[in-house]
């Protein structure tokens, strides 16, 4: 049984701070493959001229394709947005008690607290990297051979479609880099596995032993769950359980092989993790593994389950998959502000604070001219902003009168996303807030 930990989360928004709390970190154990797995608004400023239009997306703003292929590996787009990361202690304890009499909240404290995380769009492999795909990197001289000691899979063509194992974290990272990708962050992995809502398993909240390769009646270990037969005593070919795919259509996000992710492991990281694109601690002793493996029981193949491991370890439990950031939308000429002229509205958040914002953008806005107005009724805060830069799809604004009633001056950016929405990001001494806005006029 793996031992877990507790973690809260902090961010300061517009001078409002939240208080961090932290519980003690429990002792944790690393398991080998032969062991048991374990307010009123101010009047908005006006500007002239104001012409509100419902301008369509310019032809140069091309949506990211929903799928791509990267050196033979199928990848699917995970759209930008927020998702719920981590676990609620009461709920996770109740879940554990469905399968075991030996449950304690201490086991899961590194999954606490549940928190909202914003991620930019990214691509994720549909399948775990196979022996055949990894062999191409070896043949290109860019990857080391997997360890062949006790490795019955790599050199046998019958296992070409099985996940490559006996690779350490460096091997996995090198392969993804060769492909033009990278290892996913822990947050990216979890969103890809559970979607925007906190599903316990990739397919839903109830365990289904026929949808996952885990330690069932074919498993040689004493803790095997004899109620299920998944058809495999150990590793299975990738994609063998199509009914168990994640909300984004990714296979084997539960079971089969543990998967290396980019992050160092810190049992208390969720207490200090940023709310936007967290990348993990700067250093550590262990790397994070996600997803569970073929010799794990029901509880260890949950989407929020975290495990730590020595990044140099090689065994038949650990594989990986890659992620990739979409190429930036570019054009020969910078987009004009006309492309986003109109009224936009939506919610933005930073930490636990969420507010509604309405932004009005004028047409024919030029650099250093008054470009529009903003209104945040809940603060209250309103004023004008000036455009001071355009780069491809990103508009850089300076909010000219945010001092006084609106707090400190900040740097705002609005980015036109491929789906026609605006990504609003505001940064200042208070920290960072962001949200996705829809055109309403």
pTM of the model: 0.64
Q: Are 75 and 123 in contact (CB under 8 A)?
A: yes
Q: What is the pLDDT of residues 270-326, one digit of tens each?
A: 999 999 999 999 999 999 999 999 999 888 999 999 999 999 999 999 999 999 998
Q: How confident is the model at residue 49 (pLDDT cuts 50, 70, 90)?
A: very low
Residues 6+ away with beta carbon under 8 Å from 197: 83, 84
Q: Are 274 and 82 in contact (CB under 8 A)?
A: no
Q: What is the pLDDT of residues 122-133, one digit of tens each?
A: 999 999 999 999
DSSP 132: H
pLDDT at 160: 96
Helices (H) and strands (E) in the chain, counts: 4, 18
CATH class as words, domain 68-324: alpha beta
Q: What are phi and psi of 189, to 5 degrees?
A: -60, -45
Section 382-399 average pLDDT: 65
CB neighbours of residue 353 within 10 Å: 18
Section 368-383 average pLDDT: 73
Asked if pLDDT for residue 266 goes beyond 50, the answer is yes
Residue 348 and residue 344: Cα distance in Å, rounded? 12
The percent of residues in the chain predicted with pLDDT above 90, rounded, is 48
Q: Where are the domains of the chain?
A: 68-324, 337-439
Q: What is the pLDDT of residues 24-44, one digit of tens each?
A: 333 333 334 333 444 434 344
Chain centroid to Cα 114, Å, comes to 14
Closest CA to 387 of 358, 410, 365: 365
Q: Are 228 and 270 in contact (CB under 8 A)?
A: no
- Say whether 337-439 and 68-324 share the same fold: no
The answer regarding whether domain 337-439 maps to CATH 3.30.70.20 reads no
Tell me the HSE value of 186 on the side-chain side, using a 13 A CA sphere: 26
**Phi-psi group of 195: left, alpha or beta (phi > 0 → left; psi -120 to 50 → alpha; rest → beta):** left
Q: What is the pLDDT of residues 143-196, one digit of tens each?
A: 999 999 888 999 999 999 999 999 999 999 999 999 999 999 999 999 999 999
Residue 382 vs residues 52, 270, 404: alpha-carbon distances, Å: 19, 33, 11
Asked if pLDDT for residue 142 goes beyond 70, the answer is yes
């Amino acid at each position: 049984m793996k031992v877990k930990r507790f973690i809260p989360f902090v961010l300061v928004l517009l001078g409002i701070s939240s208080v961090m709390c932290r519980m003690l970190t429990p002792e944790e154990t690393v398991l080998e493959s032969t062991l048991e797995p374990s307010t009123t608004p101010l009047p908005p400023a006006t500007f002239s001229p104001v012409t509100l239009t419902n301008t369509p997306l310019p032809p140069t703003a091309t949506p990211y394709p929903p799928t791509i292929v990267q050196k033979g590996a199928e990848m699917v787009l995970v759209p930008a947005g927020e998702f719920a990361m981590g676990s609620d202690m009461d709920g996770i304890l109740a879940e554990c008690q469905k399968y075991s009499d030996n449950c304690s909240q201490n086991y899961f404290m590194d999954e606490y607290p549940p928190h909202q995380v914003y991620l930019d769009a990214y691509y994720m492999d549909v399948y775990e990297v196979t022996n055949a795909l990894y062999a191409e990197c070896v043949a290109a001289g860019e990857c080391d051979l997997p360890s062949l000691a006790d490795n019955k899979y790599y050199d046998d063509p019958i296992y070409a479609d099985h996940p490559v194992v006996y690779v350490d974290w460096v091997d996995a990272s090198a392969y993804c880099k060769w492909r033009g990708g990278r290892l996913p962050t822990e947050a990216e992995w979890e969103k890809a596995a559970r979607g925007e809502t906190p599903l316990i398993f990739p397919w839903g909240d109830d365990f289904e032993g026929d949808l996952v390769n885990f330690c069932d009646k074919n498993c040689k270990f004493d803790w095997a769950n004899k109620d299920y037969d998944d058809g495999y005593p150990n590793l299975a070919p990738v994609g063998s359980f199509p009914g168990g795919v994640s909300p984004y259509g990714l296979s084997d996000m539960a079971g089969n092989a543990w998967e290396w992710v980019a992050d160092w492991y810190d049992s208390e990281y969720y207490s200090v993790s940023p709310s936007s694109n967290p990348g993990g601690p700067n250093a550590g002793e262990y790397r994070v593994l996600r997803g569970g493996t073929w010799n794990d029981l029901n509880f260890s193949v949950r989407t929020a389950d975290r495990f730590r491991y020595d990044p140099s370890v090689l065994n038949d439990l650990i594989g990986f998959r890659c992620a990739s950031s979409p190429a930036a939308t570019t054009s020969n000429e910078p987009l004009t502000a006309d492309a986003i002229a109109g009224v936009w509205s939506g919610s933005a958040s930073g930490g636990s604070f969420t507010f509604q914002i309405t932004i009005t953008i004028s047409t024919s806005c030029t650099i250093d001219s008054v470009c529009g107005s903003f209104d945040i009724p809940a603060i209250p805060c309103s004023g004008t902003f000036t455009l001071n830069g355009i780069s491809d799809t990103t508009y850089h604004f300076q909010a000219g009168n945010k001092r006084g009633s609106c707090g400190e001056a900040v740097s705002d950016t609005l980015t036109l996303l491929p789906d026609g929405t605006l990504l609003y990001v505001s940064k200042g001494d208070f920290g960072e807030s962001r949200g996705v806005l829809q055109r309403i006029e």
